[in-house]
């Protein structure tokens, strides 16, 4: 009997017609499997309480329909507690939007281009805080996105009177260290913004590029320890596409960064993600010692070839649509209802998370990956994100080719790069779960 293979998700993330070599998404919207609008709405009680357990199981079977992806992600990432009501969430939403507006205004006071619909792609100050170029000139260079990188300045064509910025706003003033560090990052954010998801129609509009720049600029200010690092634009971009309100996009991104900011933290010469690479090496050694030995022989025992996969969560290895599907599968699998805190409670968030580990929580409300960790007592691989096992799954899938064809690290990178756009998200998650279970068994046997 003929079966409907499912509606492709690509139609929701339109690619520019001139980009003809973009791989097609493997994700299909399937009736009875994908979380639909109807099933999503039915998961709420009249007061607004969400049956998160049932929702997680649906997502794990077939992902989320693109039309509701943004609002479901807000729950998966912990923006809202499933036990909150419609009214409580509306109050939180309005409070967060106000907070974002205040932070954005703080940024605008320091650099008026924030929120103007424009952005910069060249340094505006020196390391000492001295101005390099009039920001009005830098602003004008971004009128045409294609010319932004070349930065051809022609001050004679600038008409200052046509801008909304007074000369007094642009006068040099005393800057503290925090402001200097923030301003030093703005041009790098701009350069990354114009390179992010360039094949999508969404970013043909200057206003959308500017919104991405604004969100990242605000985040760089409020997270002074990490600021902005390359790769964050890849993580933030989907939030902006999925959520209509810029402030809501910011908070979704902020919640994701709570999970990933450790990857971007630098400690001397060490980047945070390197600790995950060490865990990846240990996992590979345990489940596929022959492959691990081969990689070590080639000089890849530090697993730096997997750096990008972990840093931006496979955004380069999957198509845009498939990477979104992969993310929601990951978040559903490792969902833990005990890790909720409002932004106002950020200082106490880690304490709250630690305290929740000792309390009983319904296993039914947890994702499948988290349930396995709970069964093991949480002492073996509990702190490890599922993304590490996803990379291990990709390596195992390519094990035969790596063992027979890789004669150097360049070959390893080439073999892994050949997977770009060809990976299956659901298959990768299934493989990750199997490796996770296998690793827990081996670790338990070793401890016995």
The answer on pLDDT for 318 being more than 60 is: yes
Our count of domains for the chain comes to: 2
Same domain for 317 and 401, yes or no, is yes
Same domain for 295 and 223, yes or no, is no
- Quickly count: other Cβ atoms within 10 Å of residue 191's Cβ: 18
Please indicate, yes or no, if residue 76 is contained in any of the structural domains: no
Per-residue pLDDT, averaged over 12-23, amounts to 90
Output the pLDDT for position 143: 42
Same domain for 274 and 393, yes or no, is yes
pLDDT category at 51 given cuts 50, 70, 90 is very high
How many residues does the structure list for the chain?
448
Structural domain containing residue 118: 87-264
- Quickly count: other Cβ atoms within 10 Å of residue 247's Cβ: 20
Query: How large is the C-alpha radius of gyration of the chain?
Result: 23
| Helix spans in 194-226 (H) | 206-222
In sequence order, the 6+-apart residues with CB closer than 8 A to the CB of 416 are 305, 306, 317, 394, 398
Output the pLDDT for position 47: 97
Same domain for 426 and 289, yes or no, is yes
The answer on pLDDT for 394 being more than 50 is: yes
pLDDT category at 340 given cuts 50, 70, 90 is low
Closest by CA to 113, choosing from 82, 141, 152, 91, is 141
Closest by CA to 213, choosing from 119, 109, 140, is 119
Please indicate, yes or no, if residue 9 is contained in any of the structural domains: no
- Quickly count: other Cβ atoms within 10 Å of residue 202's Cβ: 18
Please indicate, yes or no, if residue 172 is contained in any of the structural domains: yes
254-304 confidence digits (pLDDT tens): 999 999 988 888 766 666 788 899 999 999 999 999 999 999 999 999 999
The answer on pLDDT for 187 being more than 80 is: yes
Please indicate, yes or no, if residue 29 is contained in any of the structural domains: no
Please indicate, yes or no, if residue 34 is contained in any of the structural domains: no
Same domain for 331 and 412, yes or no, is yes
> Mean pLDDT of all residues in the chain?
83
Dihedral sign, CA of 297, 299, 302, 303? negative
Same domain for 305 and 227, yes or no, is no
Output the pLDDT for position 136: 54
Q: Are 35 and 68 in contact (CB under 8 A)?
A: yes
Same domain for 221 and 135, yes or no, is yes
CATH number at residue 165: 1.10.8.270
Separation between Cα atoms, residue 364 and residue 54, nearest integer Å = 9
Same domain for 255 and 347, yes or no, is no
Separation between Cα atoms, residue 212 and residue 41, nearest integer Å = 30
Same domain for 347 and 440, yes or no, is yes
H or E element at residue 293: helix 289-297
Same domain for 247 and 283, yes or no, is no
CATH number at residue 276: 1.10.472.80
């Amino acid at each position: 009997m003929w079966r409907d293979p499912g509606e492709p998700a690509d139609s929701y993330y339109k690619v520019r017609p001139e980009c003809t070599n973009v791989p097609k998404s493997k994700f299909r919207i399937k009736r009875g499997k994908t979380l639909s609008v109807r099933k999503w709405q039915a998961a709420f009680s009249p007061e607004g309480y969400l049956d998160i357990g049932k929702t997680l199981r649906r997502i794990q079977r077939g992902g989320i329909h693109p039309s509701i992806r943004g609002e479901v992600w807000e729950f998966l990432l912990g923006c809202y507690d499933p036990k909150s009501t419609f009214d409580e969430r509306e109050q939180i939403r309005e409070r967060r939007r106000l907070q974002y507006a205040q932070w954005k205004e703080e940024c605008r006071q320091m650099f008026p281009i924030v929120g103007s619909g424009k952005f910069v792609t060249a340094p505006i100050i020196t390391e000492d805080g001295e101005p390099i170029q009039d920001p009005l000139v830098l602003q004008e260079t971004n009128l045409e996105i294609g010319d932004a990188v070349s930065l051809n300045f022609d001050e004679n064509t600038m008409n200052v009177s046509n801008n909304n910025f007074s000369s007094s706003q642009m006068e040099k003033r005393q800057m503290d260290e925090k402001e200097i560090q923030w301003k030093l990052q703005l041009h790098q954010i701009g350069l990354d913004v114009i390179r992010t998801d360039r094949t999508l129609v969404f970013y043909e509009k200057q206003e959308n590029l500017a919104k991405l720049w604004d969100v990242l600029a605000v985040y760089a200010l409020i997270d002074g320890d990490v600021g902005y690092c390359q790769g964050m634009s890849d993580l933030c971009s989907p939030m902006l596409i999925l959520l209509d309100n810029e402030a809501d996009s910011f908070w979704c991104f902020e919640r994701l960064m709570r999970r990933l900011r450790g990857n971007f933290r630098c400690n001397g010469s060490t980047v945070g993600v390197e600790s995950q690479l060490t865990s990846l090496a240990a996992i590979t050694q345990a489940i596929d010692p022959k492959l691990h030995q081969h990689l070590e022989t080639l000089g890849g025992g530090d697993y730096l070839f997997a750096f990008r996969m972990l840093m931006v969560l496979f955004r380069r290895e999957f198509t845009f649509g498939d990477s979104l599907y992969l993310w929601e599968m990951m978040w559903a699998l490792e969902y833990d209802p005990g890790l909720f805190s409002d932004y106002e409670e950020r200082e106490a968030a880690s304490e709250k998370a630690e305290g929740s580990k000792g309390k009983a929580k319904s296993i039914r409300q947890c994702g499948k990956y988290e349930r396995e960790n709970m069964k093991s007592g949480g002492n073996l691989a509990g702190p490890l994100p599922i993304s590490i096992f996803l990379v291990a799954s990709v390596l195992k899938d390519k094990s035969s080719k790596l063992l027979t064809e890789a004669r150097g690290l360049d070959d390893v990178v080439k073999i892994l790069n050949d997977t770009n756009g060809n990976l299956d998200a659901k298959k990768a998650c299934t493989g990750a779960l199997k490796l996770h279970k296998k690793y827990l068994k081996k670790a338990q046997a070793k401890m016995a």
